[in-house]
C-alpha cells in the first residue's frame, strides 16, 4: 500500500502511521514516504502551494509505483491510500497506472482535485469522510459520480476532517483494511481477526 500524504503531512503523520499499522497487521505491506523534499516542505510551510500541486504529488506516487516491482523482486498488486490532497494524487496515479493500482482509499480527501483523471480511474475506490465535514462530503459525492470503477462513500458519524474523535481513526483503518483485502486479496477475515 502506497501512502500519499497531503496538506503539509509526511511519512511521520501519526494518523497515517496508525492506519499503516492496521494494514501491516493484516498482512499488507505499506510504504509511507514524503512527497516533498525537505527544501520543498520548507517552502510549502510558507506558501502552502505545493500541497495543492496535484501533478507534482502524483508524479512522485507514480514513480514509487513504477519502482516497487524491482524493489520487491515481484509484481504485487498495488493499493493507494490518500489523505487530504494526497487523495487526488492517489487517484491520478490510479488513472495513469490502471494495470498496477487495483484499489484506492481516500481519508478525508479531496478527490475532486484529481479533475478529469477521475473518469479514467478503474481501481475500486473507497472514499471515507467525517460526518461533521459537510463540504468535503459534498465534494466526495461529486467526485464519486465521475469515477469509472467501483466506488463507495463511507461517512464516519461524528467525525471531523482529521478523525481525531475517539474511535474515528480506528474505524477508518478497519474500513481501509477491509477494502484493500477485498479488492487486492490477502489474508482471510479469520486470519485478520487473529492478528488483532
93: cell is 496515479
**CA nearest neighbour of 5 among 67, 88, 73, 101:** 88
pLDDT of residue 102: 96
Whether the per-residue pLDDT at 186 is higher than 80: the answer is: no
Whether the per-residue pLDDT at 83 is higher than 50: the answer is: yes
Percentage of residues in the chain having pLDDT higher than 90? 66
Element (H, E) at 81: strand 78-83
Residue 13, φ and ψ in degrees, nearest 5: -55, 120
C-alpha of 122 from chain center: 15
Q: Please state, in angstroms and rounded to a whole number, the distance separating the CA atoms of residues 19 and 83.
A: 11
pLDDT in tens, 109-142: 999 999 999 999 999 999 999 999 999 999 999 9
Cell 461533521, located at residue: 132
109 near 130, Cβ under 8 Å?
no
pLDDT of residue 52: 76
Cα dihedral 92, 93, 96, 99 sign: negative
**Domains present along the chain, CATH in parentheses:** 2-195 (3.40.50.1820)
**CA nearest neighbour of 93 among 4, 183, 184, 185:** 4
pLDDT in tens, 14-53: 788 899 999 999 999 899 888 877 787 777 677 676 777 8
Whether the per-residue pLDDT at 189 is higher than 70: the answer is: no
pTM value > 0.85: yes
Amino acid at each position: 500500500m502506497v501512502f500519499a500524504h497531503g496538506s503539509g503531512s509526511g511519512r511521520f503523520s501519526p494518523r497515517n502511521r496508525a492506519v499503516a499499522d492496521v494494514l501491516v497487521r493484516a498482512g499488507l505491506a505499506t510504504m509511507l514516504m514524503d512527497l516533498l523534499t525537505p527544501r520543498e516542505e520548507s517552502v510549502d510551510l510558507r506558501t502552502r502551494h505545493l500541497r495543492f500541486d496535484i501533478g507534482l504529488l502524483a508524479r512522485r506516487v507514480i514513480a514509487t509505483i513504477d519502482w516497487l516491482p524491482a524493489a520487491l523482486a515481484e509484481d504485487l498488486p498495488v493499493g493507494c491510500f490518500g489523505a487530504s490532497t494526497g487523495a487526488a494524487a492517489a487517484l491520478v496515479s490510479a488513472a495513469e497506472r490502471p494495470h498496477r493500482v487495483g484499489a484506492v482509499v481516500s481519508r478525508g480527501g479531496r478527490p475532486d482535485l484529481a479533475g478529469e483523471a477521475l473518469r479514467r480511474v478503474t481501481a475500486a475506490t473507497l472514499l471515507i469522510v467525517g460526518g461533521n465535514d459537510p463540504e468535503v462530503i459534498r465534494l466526495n459525492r461529486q467526485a464519486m459520480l465521475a469515477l469509472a470503477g467501483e466506488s463507495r462513500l463511507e461517512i464516519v458519524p461524528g467525525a471531523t476532517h482529521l478523525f481525531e474523535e475517539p474511535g474515528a481513526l480506528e474505524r477508518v483503518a478497519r474500513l481501509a483494511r477491509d477494502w484493500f483485502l477485498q479488492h487486492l486479496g490477502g489474508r482471510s477475515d479469520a486470519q485478520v481477526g487473529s492478528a488483532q
